[in-house]
Amino acid sequence: MINNQFLVFVKKEFAHVLRDRKTLLVLFGLPVMQILIFGFALTNEVKNASIVVLDQAKDHQSQRLIGRIGASRYFDIEGAVDDEEAIEQNLRSGKVKMALVIPSGFSYDLAHRNKAGLRIIADASDPNTANTLSNYLSSIIMDEQAELNANVPVPYTIIPEMRMLYNPQLKGVHNFVPGVMALVLMLVCVMMTAISIVREKETGTMEILLVSPFKPLLVILSKAVPYLLLSLVNVGTILLLSVFVLDLPVNGSILLLLAESTMFIITCLSIGLFISVKAQSQQTAMLISLMGMMLPTILFSGFMFPIENMPKPLQAITNIVPSRWYYIIVKSIMIKGLGFQAIWKETAILAGMAVFLTLVSLKNFKIRLE
C-alpha cells in the first residue's frame, strides 16, 4: 500500500517537472550549455604546436620517436637544441610550447633494462594548453612503445617524466568539468527541490498532503527521487560530453564517480529541503538557492579561484561549502584517476553534511506540520 502511494507521488512529481518547459530547459539545457561554453572557451584543440627536442641519444631509436612526433598533426618540430639552457630560452620566448629531452642512455636502457625515461618540459603559464599538449605527446610516446612491443618477448616501457614550468600545479584552470558538475548539480538539486516543496506550501496543496494519511517523510522522499534521477541523467550527459566532445577522459572508476555524485546529489537535496523548510515563497527559495549556493560554489569551491591563494578567513569558509569537497572528489577520480582511499575523507564530510541537514530539516518540518 505504502509502495503504491509512494509511486503515485513520484509519478506526480515527474509530471510537474516534465510539464514545465522552462524548468526542463534549465534542467537539461544548462549543463550542456555550460560544458560547451566552458569547453570551447577554455580548451580549444591545439594543433601544430611548436616543440623543440634535445636529443642526447642521437641514435636510431630516438630518431624514430622524433620522426613520429613530427609526423603528428599536433606538433611542429621547431628544431633541435643542444642544451637545457636553450630549452629554457625557447620556452621563455613563448614561441615554443614544449620541449622533449631524450637522454643519452635512452636506447641502451630500453635494450638492456627494458625501460627508459624521457623528459617533457611544458610551458604551463597557459595550463590548459600545457595539459592538452602533454596528453598528446604522452599518447604519441605510448603509440611508439606499443609498436616497439609488437614483436619482443619482454615488453619495453617508456616513462615520460612531465615537468610543468611556471605553473607546476596547473592552478586556475584545471579541468573545468568537475566544476561544472558541481555547479549544475547544486543548481538542479538545491533549487529545484526547494522550489518544488515551497510551491506546495504556497498553493496550499501541502496542507492537503499533511491532512492525508500520507507520511510527511514520504512527501520528502518522493520529492527527492525524481530530482535524484534527473541529476544522474545530468551527470551522465556531462560525462558523455566531456569524453566525446571535449576529449577529456575519465581516468578513474566511473562507478565510483557515479556513486560519489549520488552522495553529492543527496547532500544537495538535503540543502534544498533545508531551504524549503525556512522559505515561505518560491521567490525566496530561489534567491536563497542562488545567492546562498551558486555563488559560494563558484567562489569557494576552488573551481574558479584557487583556495590556497585566499585569505585565511575565506579559506575557513570554503570548508562548509559542499561543492568544494565534491570538486576535489571529481578531480581526483576523473583527472588523477585515484580510488576511494584517496577521497574517503571528502566523502565522509559530504555524508556528514547530508545527515546533519536532513535531521535539522525533518525536525523543523515536523514542527511545522503539527
Partner 1 sequence: METVIKTHELTKRYGDFIAANAISLEVYKGEIFGFLGANGAGKTTAMRMLCGLSTPSSGSAEIAGYDIYRQTEQVKKNIGYMSQKFSLYEDLTVMENIRFFGGIYGLGSKDIRLKGQALIKQLGLESEEKKLVGSLPLGWKQKLAFSVAILHSPKIVFLDEPTGGVDPLTRRQFWDLIYEAADRGITIFVTTHYMDEAEYCGRLSIMVDGNVKALDTPSALKEQYHATSMDDVFYELARGAKRSE
The grid coordinates of residue 143 equal 603509440
Query: Applying CB under 8 A, does 369 fall inside the site for partner 1?
Result: yes
Query: Applying CB under 8 A, does 1 fall inside the site for partner 1?
Result: yes
The grid coordinates of residue 327 equal 570538486
Query: CB atoms < 10 A from the CB of 269, how many?
Result: 28
- Binding residues for partner 1, total number by CB under 8 A: 25
Query: Applying CB under 8 A, does 221 fall inside the site for partner 1?
Result: no
Query: Applying CB under 8 A, does 3 fall inside the site for partner 1?
Result: no
Query: Applying CB under 8 A, does 24 fall inside the site for partner 1?
Result: no
Query: Applying CB under 8 A, does 366 fall inside the site for partner 1?
Result: no
Nearer to partner 1, 18 or 295 (CB): 18
Contact 186, 293 (CB under 8 A): yes
Query: Applying CB under 8 A, does 4 fall inside the site for partner 1?
Result: yes
Q: Select from 28, 38, 108, 214 the one that contacts partner 1 (CB under 8 A).
A: 214
Query: Applying CB under 8 A, does 316 fall inside the site for partner 1?
Result: no
Helix axes 282-289, 192-203, angle to 10 degrees: 160
Instruction: Provide the minimum distance between the beta carbon of 286 and partner 1 in the complex, in angstroms, as a whole number.
Output: 18
Nearer to partner 1, 105 or 216 (CB): 216
Query: Applying CB under 8 A, does 12 fall inside the site for partner 1?
Result: yes
Return d(Cα 205, Cα 284) in angstroms, integer.
19
Q: Quick check: helix, strand or coil at residue 75?
A: strand
Nearer to partner 1, 143 or 207 (CB): 207
Nearer to partner 1, 4 or 341 (CB): 4
Contact segment (CB under 8 A) with partner 1 among 9-17, 146-154, 231-239, 293-301 equals: 9-17
Return d(Cα 232, Cα 115) in angstroms, integer.
43
- Where do runs of H (alpha helix) occur along the chain? 2-19, 21-24, 30-42, 60-71, 84-93, 106-113, 127-148, 176-185, 192-203, 205-211, 216-240, 254-278, 282-289, 295-300, 312-318, 322-330, 340-369
Instruction: Provide the minimum distance between the beta carbon of 238 and partner 1 in the complex, in angstroms, as a whole number.
Output: 28
Query: Applying CB under 8 A, does 22 fall inside the site for partner 1?
Result: no
Sheet strands side by side (includes 49-55): 75-80, 49-55, 98-102, 115-123, 157-165
Site map (CB under 8 A) of partner 1, residues 90-109, x = contact:
--------------------
Instruction: Provide the minimum distance between the beta carbon of 2 and partner 1 in the complex, in angstroms, as a whole number.
Output: 8
Query: Applying CB under 8 A, does 203 fall inside the site for partner 1?
Result: yes
Interface of this chain with partner 1, residues 230 to 289, rule: CB under 8 A: none
Instruction: Provide the minimum distance between the beta carbon of 197 and partner 1 in the complex, in angstroms, as a whole number.
Output: 14
- Burial class for 276, CB neighbours closer than 10 Å (0-12, 13-18, 19+): buried
Q: Which of 250, 183, 191 is nearest to 34 (CA)?
A: 183
Q: Select from 85, 312, 341, 370 the one that contacts partner 1 (CB under 8 A).
A: 370
Q: Select from 153, 204, 311, 313 the one that contacts partner 1 (CB under 8 A).
A: 204
Query: Applying CB under 8 A, does 8 fall inside the site for partner 1?
Result: yes
Return d(Cα 145, Cα 208) in angstroms, integer.
69
Return d(Cα 232, Cα 27) in angstroms, integer.
12
Q: Which positions lie near partner 1, rule CB under 8 A?
A: 1, 4-5, 7-9, 11-12, 15-16, 19-20, 203-205, 207-214, 369-370
